[in-house]
A and B are shown apart, each in its own frame.
Chain A
């Protein structure tokens, strides 16, 4: 197993290197920070701009290949992912951003998964009954609701509660209140900030899992091997629970591992709406600010998370499906 994981990790490392390099070339040839500098007042001369960029390692006069080599050399020798046009170090901001994103998403990812799969099983077992119709209709409704609108609705709800109680219980934006005392008050403050985004992302997030799990389980409910189990003397529900459920979880397990990276790197709307400046927001900003190094760094981060997701998917599949067990 360890050997297998090592081998897969090696393959993914090569892939990450290739995508990141390709990303760098794309960024360096299309993003021109000098254009933005021209809008400053007083307008700097092109020579001044070039000189300041040269100091930041963003020399516009070098060709893409030379800049790529410089950039790569910095990473390999000093683990230095370069600087932004405004002089900020990518390394310094990166860790903060990743932490913010991870904190924002981790609870809702776990809740979404558990609730989604559980509801999928529940609704499949009650196919076409009222419970199933309510749950599944809800999931489809959520699917067509754009995330920003959904999140705004939750924020409005939270504000409504605050007003009804006459006191600020929930914070609808932000990570924490500045200057809060550590200890118990800080924890209450954290929960108050955390509740609204987590709630919003969870109740609008489980739909995919619910629909998938319901569908895969229903595909297996009438499978031949479930019939065999019933012929042995298991009741229909026992046969479904013991035989269909595990088989139906195989494709879901794979999809779970692949949706996690999408959330971590693509949670742009949530970060923007709840004002948690995480990695998703950063990557969008990098493009509008013509920031080559940040754009590439976020891309690299996305690739790494994706590779971890893929390895997790393999791992989860081997856990539940003996047919792909590795030697």
Chain B
């Protein structure tokens, strides 16, 4: 509020040259946010304008650092006092910017409410859930009676789908799972029937099945309250089905606005086009590389002279570098709430049939020498035979007694052939990571057999054989920042495994230069420290380290989940290329099924320590047989608004059950949508017998279900028309 404090909102609006439609519930004009930092003033949000109509949903899409969260916090008045905010934010015509904390409190929570990203840390750990919901009611309704507040709290919990809400009022946040806590957050947000609900990445921290549940709850909440929703996300799939309008942000500025159809089917800004092409699709078999957007977003502490995307744009020309383009209406398109606008001087060159792959020079899909060889003829690089890992669940302080067993991995058998990528998918807690750890453990005392490159863990007792095994198999970790020693230069990181093998110095140096080129990094950057690289580059270093010793098998633990969409595409393309060029095999664990579909040849779906379905990735994804696979696949949002709105979605009830309540028969029976629809006589079978993992006569995929393709319980099916 630096220069504009003396102006009235109307004057400010006139200055901005924009007037809002009278019926908009929230109007934002020329919003600018600046932070003072050690590196100078960071201009985090640079001129955001939008109008939110009652009951409508606006999706704000952008990568980390694009200013989308700062925008929402500025609207809520939750930025630190040191932030310099200018522009105008009006709720039903009333200016909110410049209000004192106390005056703003009248609007926060009653007119405008917010749901935050991380449900695990967003609730106060020391108060009951009921207390925290009732607090939201008390603040805005001081006269409400205690009974009325309690009744309302119960009603709210029921609305967001928390079973036995009356008892759960007295529960503390730590007694809830992540998805349940996010439901509580939504209950708090809608407690006072807000007119505007801002959801900042509400499902990013959750599993896909839980994400589907929470999105469903948000949908219900919007229907119940009639609130307008601002949905902030980096996931183009999540907003495709929900939003009416989309605003794409880049480097603190909206670069394209329009209806969902405008944005998804007719993008006019190269960044939007690239972003859409960078997302792998779960619903189609892609035989194309992803669209990589090279480079990184600009440093917002420096003044912007040209188009902020110019440095990464393949269509860049001299004109792009002089003066930042404003948002101009795209000609020939009927304008709706926001109107289809793009901040690109070449918007007219990008018509509906523009091909992102061609424009962004996506590499051709690499072909491996193994692709032509039948699977059965290729050698096995890894084989698991009935691997089990059970943890005893103990109780008692001095004398521990066993009250149960957590079957983290319960009889896993699969193999990986040369040149193929096998992915394990499933919700958190299904045993994916334990499986990887069991493979890496490679100890004779393990239950079950792990055979790596023909060497079994049962015979590999001496140190030398184990060392040889390590050379065959390397690992790439989820968090590239945590996996690299911050005090090692890249050279030291890469030299360490080679020194372990006793390679001479000169050879190490040569190999490191090779590796840097292989993963697409500049060889002269070897003396830099990891913190001088971006997230994507760090993951490339992680990959280079894994490849240093020329392994046959690389274990990838969520290799791209910590990366932004545009960066993720580059790393996935790299993994694809390396597999083809070096004849590598991958074992990947990932929760993002779109990534899995894009990169894998085979997939294994895990539930409570067991594989419930496995087979060729296209078979499993196009024709899932097990109800869990069907639910998992239907829960994944697709970046295609039309499809999203007509697609049937299976919403699983509840969370992954506690291992103590695991049923005797099929593990999945407690949540199974097919089971729920079965007649009681058939249910008996699921409850008492464990379905074996087997294939049908003509099928290529194995699944563990007595009633594949069974009818889904109608209560668990949802379609948003």
Chain A residues near B125 (CB, 8 Å)?
Answer: 225, 247, 321-323
Cβ–Cβ contact B101 & A236, under 8 A:
yes
Task: State which residues 134-191 of B face A: CB under 8 Å.
Answer: 135-136, 139-140, 172, 174, 185, 188-189
Bound: A246/B131 CA distance, A: 14
The contact string, 1 if C-beta is below 8 Å from chain B, for chain A 1-19, is 0000001000100000000
Identify the closest chain A residue to B188 (Cβ): A232
Q: How far is the CB of B26 from chain A (nearest CB, A)?
A: 15
Chain A residues near B121 (CB, 8 Å)?
Answer: 223-225
12 contacts between A and B (CB under 8 A): A7-B397, A225-B121, A225-B124, A225-B125, A227-B78, A228-B124, A229-B124, A230-B108, A233-B140, A234-B139, A250-B126, A323-B126
Cβ–Cβ contact A227 & B122, under 8 A:
yes
A243 in the interface, Cβ–Cβ < 8 Å?
yes
Cβ–Cβ contact B116 & A224, under 8 A:
yes
B139 interface neighbour in A232, A243, A246, Cβ under 8 Å: A232
Q: How far is the CB of A1 from chain B (nearest CB, A)?
A: 14
Bound: A68/B108 CA distance, A: 70
B651 in the interface, Cβ–Cβ < 8 Å?
no
B369 in the interface, Cβ–Cβ < 8 Å?
no
Chain A residues near B140 (CB, 8 Å)?
Answer: 233
- With a 10 A CB-CB cut-off, give which of B121, B124, B128 has the most chain A CB atoms: B124
A231 interface neighbour in B109, B118, B127, B128, Cβ under 8 Å: B109
Chain B residues near A250 (CB, 8 Å)?
Answer: 126
Bound: A180/B22 CA distance, A: 87
Q: A230-B78, A235-B102 are in contact. Are A321 and B188 (CB under 8 A)?
A: no
The contact string, 1 if C-beta is below 8 Å from chain A, for chain B 229-247, is 0000000000000000000
Q: A11-B398, A322-B125, A323-B125 are in contact. Are A231 and B172 (CB under 8 A)?
A: no
Bound: A125/B718 CA distance, A: 49
Q: How far is the CB of B112 from chain A (nearest CB, A)?
A: 9
Cβ–Cβ contact A235 & B118, under 8 A:
no
Bound: A234/B113 CA distance, A: 12
Bound: A86/B414 CA distance, A: 80
Chain A residues near B135 (CB, 8 Å)?
Answer: 229, 232, 234, 242
Cβ–Cβ contact A321 & B101, under 8 A:
no
B537 in the interface, Cβ–Cβ < 8 Å?
no
Q: How far is the CB of A239 from chain B (nearest CB, A)?
A: 10
Cβ–Cβ contact A224 & B105, under 8 A:
no
Bound: A11/B105 CA distance, A: 51
Q: How far is the CB of B67 from chain A (nearest CB, A)?
A: 18
Bound: A225/B107 CA distance, A: 19
Cβ–Cβ contact A247 & B398, under 8 A:
no
Chain B residues near A115 (CB, 8 Å)?
Answer: none
Chain A residues near B185 (CB, 8 Å)?
Answer: 228
B440 in the interface, Cβ–Cβ < 8 Å?
no
B106 in the interface, Cβ–Cβ < 8 Å?
yes
Chain B residues near A233 (CB, 8 Å)?
Answer: 105-110, 136, 139-140
Q: A224-B122, A247-B124, A323-B125 are in contact. Are A231 and B398 (CB under 8 A)?
A: no
Please report the total number of A residues contacting B with Cβ < 8 Å: 24
Q: How far is the CB of B74 from chain A (nearest CB, A)?
A: 13
Bound: A227/B200 CA distance, A: 13
A320 in the interface, Cβ–Cβ < 8 Å?
yes
B76 interface neighbour in A231, A322, A323, Cβ under 8 Å: A231
Q: How far is the CB of A125 from chain B (nearest CB, A)?
A: 13
Chain B residues near A228 (CB, 8 Å)?
Answer: 116, 122-124, 132, 185, 188
Q: How far is the CB of A252 from chain B (nearest CB, A)?
A: 14
Chain B residues near A227 (CB, 8 Å)?
Answer: 78, 116, 122
The contact string, 1 if C-beta is below 8 Å from chain B, for chain A 135-155, is 000000000000000000000
Identify the closest chain B residue to A323 (Cβ): B174
B114 in the interface, Cβ–Cβ < 8 Å?
yes
Task: State which residues 211-254 of A face B: CB under 8 Å.
Answer: 223-225, 227-236, 242-243, 246-247, 250
Bound: A66/B463 CA distance, A: 50
Task: State which residues 515-535 of B face A: CB under 8 Å.
Answer: none
B residues at A contact (CB < 8 Å):
76, 78, 101-102, 105-110, 113-114, 116, 118, 121-128, 132, 135-136, 139-140, 172, 174, 185, 188-189, 397-398
Q: Is the interface of A mostly helix, strand, loop or mixed?
A: helix
Identify the closest chain A residue to B139 (Cβ): A233
Bound: A223/B126 CA distance, A: 13
A residues at B contact (CB < 8 Å):
7, 11, 223-225, 227-236, 242-243, 246-247, 250, 320-323
Identify the closest chain B residue to A233 (Cβ): B109
Bound: A224/B115 CA distance, A: 11
Bound: A232/B135 CA distance, A: 8
Chain A residues near B128 (CB, 8 Å)?
Answer: 322
Identify the closest chain A residue to B73 (Cβ): A227
Identify the closest chain B residue to A249 (Cβ): B126
Chain B residues near A323 (CB, 8 Å)?
Answer: 125-126, 172, 174
Identify the closest chain B residue to A225 (Cβ): B124
Bound: A246/B124 CA distance, A: 10
Bound: A234/B139 CA distance, A: 7
Cβ–Cβ contact B172 & A322, under 8 A:
yes
- With a 10 A CB-CB cut-off, give which of A225, A233, A246 has the most chain B CB atoms: A233
- With a 10 A CB-CB cut-off, give which of B110, B116, B185 has the most chain A CB atoms: B116
Chain A residues near B126 (CB, 8 Å)?
Answer: 246-247, 250, 320-323
Bound: A86/B553 CA distance, A: 78
Q: A230-B105, A242-B135, A247-B125 are in contact. List 14 more A-B contacts (CB 8 A).
A: A11-B397, A225-B122, A225-B124, A227-B122, A228-B123, A232-B188, A233-B108, A233-B139, A234-B135, A235-B102, A247-B124, A321-B125, A321-B126, A322-B126
Chain A residues near B189 (CB, 8 Å)?
Answer: 231
Identify the closest chain A residue to B137 (Cβ): A232
Bound: A323/B188 CA distance, A: 21
Chain B residues near A223 (CB, 8 Å)?
Answer: 121
Bound: A243/B131 CA distance, A: 12
Identify the closest chain A residue to B111 (Cβ): A233
Cβ–Cβ contact A232 & B122, under 8 A:
no
Bound: A242/B127 CA distance, A: 10
Bound: A321/B126 CA distance, A: 6
Chain B residues near A243 (CB, 8 Å)?
Answer: 124, 127
Cβ–Cβ contact B124 & A234, under 8 A:
no
Q: A7-B397, A227-B78 are in contact. Are A234 and B122 (CB under 8 A)?
A: no
Chain B residues near A234 (CB, 8 Å)?
Answer: 105, 135, 139
Identify the closest chain A residue to B80 (Cβ): A222
Bound: A231/B107 CA distance, A: 9
Chain B residues near A320 (CB, 8 Å)?
Answer: 126
Bound: A7/B76 CA distance, A: 50
Q: A322-B172, A323-B172 are in contact. Are A232 and B78 (CB under 8 A)?
A: no
Chain A residues near B124 (CB, 8 Å)?
Answer: 225, 228-229, 243, 247
Bound: A109/B126 CA distance, A: 27
Identify the closest chain A residue to B192 (Cβ): A233
Chain B residues near A321 (CB, 8 Å)?
Answer: 125-126
Identify the closest chain A residue to B106 (Cβ): A233
Cβ–Cβ contact B78 & A231, under 8 A:
yes
Q: How far is the CB of A236 from chain B (nearest CB, A)?
A: 5
Chain A residues near B123 (CB, 8 Å)?
Answer: 225, 228
Bound: A228/B200 CA distance, A: 12
Chain B residues near A231 (CB, 8 Å)?
Answer: 76, 78, 108-109, 113-114, 116, 189
Identify the closest chain A residue to B171 (Cβ): A322
Q: How far is the CB of B160 from chain A (nearest CB, A)?
A: 15
Chain B residues near A225 (CB, 8 Å)?
Answer: 121-125
Q: How far is the CB of B131 from chain A (nearest CB, A)?
A: 10
Bound: A242/B110 CA distance, A: 19
Bound: A15/B109 CA distance, A: 52
In order of increasing CB-CB distance, the 8 nearest A-B pairs are A233-B109, A224-B121, A233-B139, A232-B109, A232-B136, A225-B124, A224-B122, A231-B114
Bound: A17/B496 CA distance, A: 50
Chain A residues near B102 (CB, 8 Å)?
Answer: 235
Bound: A103/B135 CA distance, A: 45
Chain A residues near B127 (CB, 8 Å)?
Answer: 243
Chain B residues near A235 (CB, 8 Å)?
Answer: 101-102, 105
